[in-house]
């Protein structure tokens, strides 16, 4: 673990009972073809304990229950699927994120070289790829096809948003004789994955569904950190430094940077900590006023009087009470369309200081799509490789209805039904967020 990783764990203590049991398709009777030392294989008895709230710990002790723990990920000595006969499918869903291609590549390479699986299909453009009416072709995947895709941003397979009929998706899996489906996506994808797994079970089919968590916002519950996050923070820092350079170059310069984070402000907060040049960090988890004593505008005015420049970082989901449409609008995936808090703040800051007769120069930067579409950095690339490998190990062992998670510096199996129960957000009482407040000096902005 790197020295600062304990600040980036992000996972609050468990306060209630959760179901950590992983479903399997059947007993594993086939010897794993990987030539590994005995000590390299793991069993279902290997567990990783969860951090739990003290009151909940006392409850488990008094009721003589085992504290919750998750199944350790890794290769099993015996597997469920016969590698010579199994056929696997891969699909990527939702928005772009650095590292998707690295995960695809890792899955294909591990299937092919570690297990000898040579029938691997890629479904194009997300869940649309399963639906006949869209007529999207499938892609036959092999090491030769994917060997260089990690150097590209985006997703080699394409993606899409929106719901598709679960029955038709399973029809396609059955028709194409797919026994393993790898789904790379966020919480919306996981909800679909859980429904697909349930329909598969209802039909009595032997198809494993294994998910790899993908969200640049880092907001998936029971995952310490999602892939692409490190890359996003790194590029966000570059945007912040540009905003700072612009701000200090003129009298009363204000650098305003809008970063990704619909419901969770991890990117904005981590980039703020990394650059040390941000004076106000606004995230969805905190409310703030614009006007009045202790509001953003008066605090910004004090900052300009004192230092002559300022940098503001705002997550896209912050301050939505000022910009949200009424009634709200929704995108194809059912998510509420956010109002543009960045442009709103730019206009309102300009209006405030114009009324005061104080000249300011505002430089607004929105690097969102640039960040989403770049290749992964070294840290994320290594991480994605592990995720793909562990996903394959789980699938070949016949495990289903799970996501691969990195939690407390271990790779584990998490049931999909638990992963989608809540959204991970910045803990405003954590050392992580308190460090942001110390770094910016913004204090706690007034909120009505």
Query: Which residues have a catalytic role annotated?
Result: 217
Tokens found for residue 177 = 């004789």
Q: Check if the beta carbon of residue 130 is closer than 8 Å to that of residue 137.
A: no
Tokens found for residue 34 = 């990987």
Q: Is beta strand 138-140 parallel, antiparallel or unpaired with respect to 120-123? A: antiparallel
Q: Check if the beta carbon of residue 415 is closer than 8 Å to that of residue 19.
A: yes
**3-state DSSP call for residue 376?**
coil
**3-state DSSP call for residue 183?**
strand
Beta bridge partners of 47: 71
Distances (CA, A) of 178 to 200, 291, 347, 403: 12, 58, 53, 19
What is the rounded CA–CA span in Å between residue 353 and residue 290? 13
Q: Check if the beta carbon of residue 273 is closer than 8 Å to that of residue 437.
A: no
Beta bridge partners of 24: 399
Q: Is beta strand 69-72 parallel, antiparallel or unpaired with respect to 47-49? A: antiparallel
Distance of CA 257 to the CA centre of its chain: 21
Residue 93: left if φ>0, alpha if ψ -120 to 50, beta else—which one?
A: beta
What is the rounded CA–CA span in Å between residue 166 and residue 201? 13
What is the rounded CA–CA span in Å between residue 177 and residue 89? 10
Angle at the Cα of 145 (from 402 to 177), degrees rounded to 5? 50
Tokens found for residue 96 = 């772009």
Tokens found for residue 33 = 């073809």
């Amino acid at each position: 673990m790197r020295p600062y990783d304990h600040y980036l764990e992000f996972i609050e203590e468990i306060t209630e009972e959760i179901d950590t049991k992983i479903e399997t398709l059947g007993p594993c009777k086939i010897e794993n073809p990987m030539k590994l030392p005995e000590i390299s294989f793991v069993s279902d008895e290997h567990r990783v304990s969860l951090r739990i709230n003290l009151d909940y710990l006392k409850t488990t002790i008094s009721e003589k229950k085992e504290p919750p723990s998750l199944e350790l990920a890794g290769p099993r000595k015996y597997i469920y699927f016969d590698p010579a006969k199994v056929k696997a499918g891969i699909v990527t869903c939702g928005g772009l994120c650095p590292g998707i291609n690295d995960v695809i590549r890792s899955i294909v390479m591990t299937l092919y070289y570690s297990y000898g699986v040579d029938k691997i299909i890629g479904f194009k453009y997300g869940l649309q790829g399963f639906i006949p009416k869209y007529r999207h072709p499938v892609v036959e995947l092999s090491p030769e096809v994917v060997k260089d895709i990690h150097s590209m941003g985006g997703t080699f397979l394409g993606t899409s948003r929106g719901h598709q009929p679960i029955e038709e998706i399973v029809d396609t899996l059955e028709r194409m004789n797919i026994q393993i489906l790898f789904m790379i996506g966020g919480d919306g994808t996981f909800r679909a994955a859980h429904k697909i797994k349930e329909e598969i079970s209802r039909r009595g089919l032997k198809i494993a569904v294994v998910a790899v968590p993908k969200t640049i916002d880092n907001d998936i519950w029971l995952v310490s950190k999602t892939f692409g996050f490190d890359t996003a923070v790194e590029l966000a820092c570059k945007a912040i430094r540009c905003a700072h350079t612009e701000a200090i170059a003129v009298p009363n310069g204000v650098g305003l940077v809008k970063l990704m984070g619909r419901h969770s402000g991890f990117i904005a907060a981590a980039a703020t900590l990394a650059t040390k040049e941000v004076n106000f960090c606004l995230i969805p988890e905190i409310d703030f006023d614009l006007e009045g004593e202790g509001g953003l505008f008066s605090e910004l005015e004090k900052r300009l009087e004192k230092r002559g420049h300022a940098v503001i970082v705002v997550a896209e989901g912050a301050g939505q009470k000022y910009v949200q449409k009424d009634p709200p609008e929704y995108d194809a995936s059912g998510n509420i369309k956010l109002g543009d808090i960045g442009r709103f703040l730019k206009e309102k800051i300009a209006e405030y200081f114009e009324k005061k007769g104080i000249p300011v120069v505002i430089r607004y930067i929105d690097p969102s799509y640039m960040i989403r579409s770049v290749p992964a950095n070294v840290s994320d690339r290594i991480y994605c490789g592990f995720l793909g490998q562990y996903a394959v190990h789980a699938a070949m062992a016949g495990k289903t209805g799970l996501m691969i998670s990195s939690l407390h510096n271990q790779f584990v199996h998490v049931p999909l039904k638990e992963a989608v129960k809540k959204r991970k957000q910045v803990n405003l009482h954590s050392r992580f967020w308190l460090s942001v407040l110390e770094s910016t000096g913004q204090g706690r902005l007034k909120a009505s």
